[in-house]
Amino acid sequence: MSIRYTKSPVPSNPEDIPAYLQAELDKISAVIGNIADGNIEVSNVEPPKPREGDLRYADGTNWNPGQGNNFYYFDGTDWRAYTGGSGAGDFANFGSAVDQTAAAINTAYPITWDLTGPKQGISLNGSDTSKIEFTHAGTYHITLVVTVSSGSASTKTIEIWPRVNGVNIANSGIVSTAHENGQKKVLAKSVMFTVSAGDYLQAMWAVDDTDLLLEHENASAFAPAVSSSTINILQVSQ
């Protein structure tokens, strides 16, 4: 279905004019009907001279403005996807249902993920489940929550921070200290940063005493299981 009307050549024979006019009116009627029905053709090429306020439905393959097969508006500079209502749309939730321990002190280890919740456009690497991969470029809000457990009475410190493509994100970490045997603490951190399509994220951690670990809890008769780590990711802008 089309929302664009293209006039056919006018016939030279006057006797053909009535049929020609009827055919043109039928085409105009079809276009108006498609507009009234909200139909927008799928575009496989970017308009050469887009204007602010232009609307297009991109096929996501031949033309991908950033969010794949999607509905976009032009803001005067960039094509913005409507998904999510703010030019965003990808999301993910991952967790860990096992304890995670450090084999050595003052050594960075990535948190691995074995639980997958709702997700779109964000996935775990098939061979390294510490790597969270982004299909689309954009700015993302990320919240990490961990349960830390102390196995001795000595003073122990844990540090947790994000990495993108193996590079630490500056000023983004958590530092916490435990002093008691059996002490449990819930630590949380929210950060926001921009990634490119194909980038990967890791949540790193390190301790100065291996008696400090990320601990899960099994379900009880009255309460659900508790993950040792949980990460929530939401794209807020392209």
Domains of the chain: residue spans and CATH: 42-85 (no CATH), 91-237 (2.60.120.40)
This prediction has a pTM of 0.70
Look at residue 37 in the predicted model and tell me its pLDDT: 65
**Are 70 and 80 in contact, with CB atoms under 8 Å apart?**
no
Look at residue 86 in the predicted model and tell me its pLDDT: 44
**Are 54 and 82 in contact, with CB atoms under 8 Å apart?**
no
User: pLDDT tens track of the chain, all 238 residues?
Assistant: 456 778 888 888 888 888 988 988 888 888 787 666 666 778 899 989 999 888 888 888 899 887 778 888 888 888 877 754 444 578 999 999 999 999 999 999 999 999 999 998 899 999 999 999 998 888 999 999 999 999 999 999 999 999 999 999 998 999 999 989 989 999 999 999 899 989 999 999 999 999 999 999 999 999 999 999 999 999 888 7
Look at residue 141 in the predicted model and tell me its pLDDT: 93
How far, in Å, CA of 90 to CA of 147, rounded?
A: 26
Look at residue 95 in the predicted model and tell me its pLDDT: 97
Look at residue 133 in the predicted model and tell me its pLDDT: 97
Query: Residue 34 burial (CB < 10 Å; 0-12/13-18/19+)?
Result: middle
Q: In the numeric block, which tokens belong to residue 119?
A: 């997700």
